[in-house]
A and B are shown apart, each in its own frame.
Chain A
């Protein structure tokens, strides 16, 4: 029974050291929280101290003073070009997603001439296909924001 208190003491002291070491990792986070609170409070105080009082229209209380109205009917009409731009964004965004890992493994794989050529030509083919799509949507006017002006037809 003699060694039990000893072991208990050792475990307690070990845990005490460990807990304080673990907590000390969070000091920067705590500091950040404090700075954030101080900053927000400071801004509010500064604006009440320095800002003009009296004029308070309802629009001042909306989340976005200028921009879209956050509450309303979701079934509103908006131009179809938003949809086209969003689709194109997704397409070409995914292109970049494929390019990043390729760029990461490219250099080590380049040392072997066989795999180097394979991954080089594969990516070139991929970009070539995307380029065809890019030229296509450019030519079709999908990238024009303003409506395309018709070229005046010569009188027949």
Chain B
């Protein structure tokens, strides 16, 4: 049972190594076919996870859990990685060298993310998180002749290393207090001795480390610069995959090891969620660069996700999972448009989106669908996700938290619709039509359709997310 429960991760890592070898051994200059191989391979793994590749249960002395939530996250990561791979194939023209390695690194990051979904032990937590983070250090600085990309890489490296240091330091305190690294051991310890002293310090340090990964206030400082400077597909992957991995770990830890101190962490997460929503949305308002804008918006979405976690019920957790699912399609839709635009206009300023509706109706429509869904306007996926989150929070009588969330939603409407206004009601700087490749067109249509479909026919996804949440929150 042990090794077979790792089948999906082994397949993904194997695919990554295959792509790496193919990239090294083929003589073709155009390495974009590796993107096609990655996407097809990932789709096959996704199909395998649906039909028969998922082995449920606990393994490796309780370090590893494959349950409904783990499977939910793994499929989420696979879907996100497929879309990011397609996006990278559209972006590959901007990468000076090492296109093959770019795809391989994305696959390795995906493997790390899939590992985070099953973590049930602090050592596994650290190893899986570092697998994701170290690949992202390379990916963020991939355009190594461009200063912004290098700056993003250095900032991400330093702050990422700092957060890892927090995490490991916290784990040592927990190990010192409980004599082990398993989540269940920590839960036993907290049940007997209560939270206090060194173990509380350790838990807080670990939560701070995870706060960096999900980009919640006050651990958000790296986000705007890194999101702006990193290559666009990497920014998208950071915003969607890395954040979801952080949430997977957070949920595992809160409901695994920290369940006995639930009252404490509910208050903590509620305060963090409120601060994150306010900061992300208010700081996004004056932004001029679309990637920076989406960076701040991703901070605010981390806040909304934390709202669902702070509700601390199966309903709230299910709402957060649904939110993540909707967020993947919505956000990647926006980044697909940014990649197409950057190929045509060579910058990411919001000003160059003026009059986009005349230059490329498809891009303008896709961007509008994505932004409107991010803002939470019906009938998009983002609306129903926010609806679920708010009903979970109100169901727990957290009125002040719901009020803060409402303020955030109103503020976000302003800056999201500002971009829409520029695209439809402003004069373009130049009239030239923007050409979009066939792959990107298909991806754009798919993401638009998915964003709308999840919003209108929420049933199956809600069922799936809530089933996963019910198994976690007993």
List residues of A whose CB falls within 8 A of some B CB.
121, 129, 132, 135-136, 139-140
Contact = CB atoms under 8 A, between A and B. Distances in A.
A132 B25 contact: no
A129 B21 CA distance: 12
14 contacts: A121-B3, A129-B13, A129-B17, A132-B17, A132-B20, A132-B21, A135-B21, A135-B24, A136-B20, A136-B21, A136-B24, A139-B24, A139-B25, A140-B24
Interface string B423-455: 000000000000000000000000000000000
A132 B20 CA distance: 9
Nearest to A137: B24
Contacts of B17: 129, 132
A132 B3 CA distance: 21
Label chain A's interface by main secondary structure: helix
Q: Chain B contact residues: over half helix, strand or loop, or mixed? A: helix
Given A129-B17, A132-B17, A139-B24, 9 more contacts: A121-B3, A129-B13, A132-B20, A132-B21, A135-B21, A135-B24, A136-B21, A136-B24, A139-B25
Interface of B: 3, 13, 17, 20-21, 24-25
A30 B219 CA distance: 59
A122 to B, nearest CB: 9
A148 to B, nearest CB: 14
With most chain B CB atoms within 10 A of its CB, the pick from A121, A136, A140 is: A136
A132 B24 CA distance: 11
Contacts of B21: 132, 135-136
Contacts of B24: 135-136, 139-140
A139 B101 CA distance: 13
A141 B13 CA distance: 24
Residue from B3, B21, B24, B25 whose CB has the most chain A CB atoms within 10 Å? B24
A132 B101 CA distance: 13
A90 to B, nearest CB: 15
Sorted nearest first, the 8 A-B pairs with minimum C-beta distance are A139-B24, A132-B17, A136-B24, A136-B20, A140-B24, A139-B25, A132-B21, A132-B20
Contacts of B20: 132, 136
Contacts of B25: 139
Contacts of A139: 24-25
Nearest to A140: B24
A135 B18 CA distance: 12
Contacts of A129: 13, 17
A140 B3 CA distance: 32
A97 B48 CA distance: 37
Contacts of A140: 24
A140 B101 CA distance: 11
A139 B13 CA distance: 20
A136 B170 CA distance: 37
Nearest to A131: B17
Contacts of A121: 3
A26 B25 CA distance: 62
A141 to B, nearest CB: 10
